[in-house]
A and B are shown apart, each in its own frame.
Chain A
Amino acid sequence: MFQRSIPLFIVLFTALLLIVAFFIPHKPFGDLESRFLNWYAIISGFTFLLGLDSLTRHHLLKVIRREKGWFYSLLLVLSLFATLTVGLYSWVKFSSPFALRAPFMWLYKYMIIPLQATMFATLAFFIFSAAYRAFRIRNLGATLLLIAACLVMLGNVPLGSSIWQRISQLVHLVFPNTRLDLLYQIELFAQIKDWLMAIPQAAAGRGIGIGLALGGIAMSLRIILGIERTYLSS
């Protein structure tokens, strides 16, 4: 019985304490939130040992059992220990592994950052493939989505501006009385993009945002009042 009720009591007490601290700046409440976050940071720092244990054990077992792709697991484990060794060496030699001249920082600058950048760059290709599927004209909704997306893209890039200039010149040719400089200034694609982003997009985004905020409050209350207990595996 206490196995369930004590954690629930701790949740209720801590939640009420933090709610009170939000409204009361006076000591001892004022800095409670930052204190709790500090404790969380300390605890999560220790739990990284759990993560390290999980990662190394998982991949070492793969290597020992010669499972499919074991060679990559071996590379991962070797890289992990090589990084640790370089980090320790940098710490001893330069007082900090993050010193600019430390080999640990070379690893960071010349391996981690380029690898991260490469992974991020693949996003461009994935956006293209996902957009191709999302914007196929299957029904009215998808067609409207395609038109809106094209207009937003044209409003965001210089190509949209130069297309608008060509259109303005055509209008000026057909109706010579219109002033070309005024037509240029209209920047129709940019204006449509601004309207789409500021009105329909913002309205939908705020609607989802309000729903999320209320959902979050409902979820918090369920946890605080002990109605929602799945996080305690019950």
Chain B
Amino acid sequence: MLVKDNPNDQGQAIVITWTHPAPESLLGFRIFRSTSPTGDFTPVEPELLNRTDYLDTDTLLRDGVAYYYLIRAYSANDSASSAVAGPVIARAQWFNASRLNVLVLTLIISALFIYYILRARQGKQMFIRKISGLDAIDDALGRATEMGKPILFSFGLGYITDMVVIAALPLLRRIGKKSAEYAVRLIVPNSDPIVMTAAQETVKEAYTEAGRPDLYNPDNITFVTSDQFGYAAGVDGIILRERPGAIFWLGYFYAESLILAETGHTVGAIQLAGTTETTQLPFFVAACDYTMIGEEIYAASCYLKPEPVMLGTIKGEDFIKMLLIFIITVLVFFGTAATLLNRNIPSLQTVFEAIVNWFSPPS
């Protein structure tokens, strides 16, 4: 039996491991704890355990106190106790060692981003490739204006804590400004009240910036429901009644994405979509006129307001992507070589596995 402090935690946890004595008649184990090696041992888990490890996170457990454990094995007619193990003291750690890989990568990535931001601040010219989905915004707005139809914008089921919703806000601002200039009604049905409030503020600012605050009507930016298919039904109803000329699906979408986009297609709206939910991208590609794939939606604010500092972050992102492609390529060759030469040089496989494990997600 082995007892130790649970590593990388905030304390009040002790790990107990033991070896199974193997007889088939064994029903299970019960763990007992005491603050003294000879004191009263009380059970920490009322159920019989049929495994060889246990994490004691009892609320009575205190950090800095020495504990002793023993384990008792039970069969139908008999029981036997192990020797007392301990003392063991639970402690809170100041650093989660299992997240060292994240720390190292965060520092490298942040350093590269900051380097490119500083370079951009020094006046270095940056180039951003054409994003056709973003270029299509003005065309879609123009078409809706010509047809005299409203514009619909949806964040889907996104919350304000979702990065994609924050990334979509500048797009809403841009669309809001244009819709104010063209005097076209902008409808924003929401599934989250906080997002609704943010959208109302953004559109209001955009209308003021366009010099048409009189056109702003908060009734166009409303709450529908937070229920997934209730939202889909509500927005479908709005589409069929209002028949918008342009629809923007920018945010977080799940299974309702195709229901929404196909209804938009039915009324003949020009549709532009962008989501970070990769499982929904094929549906948008199939049903919409333009789809922003992958990080394009995150690049939107830099694309629409191409300030050097903003573009610096895109440059940094591209450099890191190149670096990752290089690392993946090297590891593919290394892994292949390790597999092929495993018989002659087994250590290669060990090194390869250690590298791959280092990159694996932390606990």
Chain B residues closer than 8 Å to A40, beta-carbon distance? 161
Our pick among A25, A212, A215 for the contact of B278 (Cβ within 8 Å) is: A212
Chain A residues closer than 8 Å to B192, beta-carbon distance? 44, 51
Asked whether A134 lies within 8 Å of B285 as measured between CB atoms, the reply is yes
Chain A residues closer than 8 Å to B261, beta-carbon distance? 130
Asked whether B163 lies within 8 Å of A219 as measured between CB atoms, the reply is yes
The answer to whether the Cβ of A217 comes within 8 Å of any Cβ in the partner chain is yes
Asked whether A61 lies within 8 Å of B298 as measured between CB atoms, the reply is no
Question: A221: nearest residue on chain B (CB-CB)?
Answer: B113
A21→B23 CA distance, assembly (Å): 46
Q: How far is the CB of B52 from chain A (nearest CB, A)?
A: 25
Asked whether B99 lies within 8 Å of A23 as measured between CB atoms, the reply is yes
Given A27-B10, A122-B259, A126-B259, 10 more pairs with CB closer than 8 A? A25-B8, A26-B92, A47-B194, A50-B197, A119-B229, A129-B262, A130-B261, A131-B286, A215-B298, A233-B173
Interface SS of B by simple majority: helix
Task: Check A215/B229 contact, CB under 8 A, given A26-B92, A123-B259.
Answer: no
Asked whether A31 lies within 8 Å of B10 as measured between CB atoms, the reply is yes
Asked whether A50 lies within 8 Å of B161 as measured between CB atoms, the reply is no
Q: Which of B26-34, B64-72, B306-314, B350-358 contacts A (4 or more CB under 8 A)?
A: B306-314
Chain A residues closer than 8 Å to B232, beta-carbon distance? 119
Our pick among B227, B229, B316, B321 for the contact of A210 (Cβ within 8 Å) is: B321
The answer to whether the Cβ of A84 comes within 8 Å of any Cβ in the partner chain is no
Asked whether A119 lies within 8 Å of B259 as measured between CB atoms, the reply is yes
Question: A225: nearest residue on chain B (CB-CB)?
Answer: B117
Chain B residues closer than 8 Å to A233, beta-carbon distance? 173, 201-202, 205
The answer to whether the Cβ of A107 comes within 8 Å of any Cβ in the partner chain is no
Q: Which of B53-61, B140-148, B217-225, B340-348 contacts A (4 or more CB under 8 A)?
A: B217-225
Q: How far is the CB of B121 from chain A (nearest CB, A)?
A: 10
Q: Which of B74-82, B102-110, B178-186 contacts A (4 or more CB under 8 A)?
A: B102-110
Interface centre among B167, B223, B261, B265 (most CB of A within 10 A): B223
Interface SS of A by simple majority: helix
Q: How far is the CB of B106 from chain A (nearest CB, A)?
A: 8
Chain A residues closer than 8 Å to B219, beta-carbon distance? 57-58, 61
The answer to whether the Cβ of A230 comes within 8 Å of any Cβ in the partner chain is yes
Asked whether B286 lies within 8 Å of A220 as measured between CB atoms, the reply is no
Our pick among A19, A51, A127, A228 for the contact of B223 (Cβ within 8 Å) is: A51
Asked whether A50 lies within 8 Å of B223 as measured between CB atoms, the reply is yes
Our pick among A24, A210, A225, A227 for the contact of B96 (Cβ within 8 Å) is: A24
The answer to whether the Cβ of A35 comes within 8 Å of any Cβ in the partner chain is no
Asked whether B278 lies within 8 Å of A205 as measured between CB atoms, the reply is yes
Chain A residues closer than 8 Å to B233, beta-carbon distance? 115, 119
Interface size on A, residues (CB 8 A): 63
The answer to whether the Cβ of A2 comes within 8 Å of any Cβ in the partner chain is no
Our pick among A116, A120, A219 for the contact of B298 (Cβ within 8 Å) is: A219
Interface size on B, residues (CB 8 A): 81
Q: Which of B38-46, B122-130, B244-252, B287-295 contacts A (4 or more CB under 8 A)?
A: B287-295
Asked whether A25 lies within 8 Å of B93 as measured between CB atoms, the reply is yes
The answer to whether the Cβ of A170 comes within 8 Å of any Cβ in the partner chain is no
Question: A205: nearest residue on chain B (CB-CB)?
Answer: B278
Our pick among A210, A215, A225 for the contact of B299 (Cβ within 8 Å) is: A215
The answer to whether the Cβ of A216 comes within 8 Å of any Cβ in the partner chain is yes
The answer to whether the Cβ of A231 comes within 8 Å of any Cβ in the partner chain is yes
The answer to whether the Cβ of B48 comes within 8 Å of any Cβ in the partner chain is no
A211→B261 CA distance, assembly (Å): 24
Our pick among A44, A112, A217 for the contact of B194 (Cβ within 8 Å) is: A44
Q: How far is the CB of B268 from chain A (nearest CB, A)?
A: 13
Asked whether A50 lies within 8 Å of B193 as measured between CB atoms, the reply is yes
Interface centre among A72, A123, A214 (most CB of B within 10 A): A214
Asked whether A48 lies within 8 Å of B193 as measured between CB atoms, the reply is yes
Chain A residues closer than 8 Å to B324, beta-carbon distance? 210, 214
Asked whether B286 lies within 8 Å of A133 as measured between CB atoms, the reply is yes
The answer to whether the Cβ of B211 comes within 8 Å of any Cβ in the partner chain is no
Interface centre among B228, B283, B298 (most CB of A within 10 A): B298
The answer to whether the Cβ of B330 comes within 8 Å of any Cβ in the partner chain is no
B229-258 contacts to A (CB < 8 Å): 229-230, 232-233, 237, 241, 255-256, 258
Interface 0/1 of A84-121, CB less than 8 Å to B = 00000000000000000000000000001001100110
A131→B262 CA distance, assembly (Å): 11
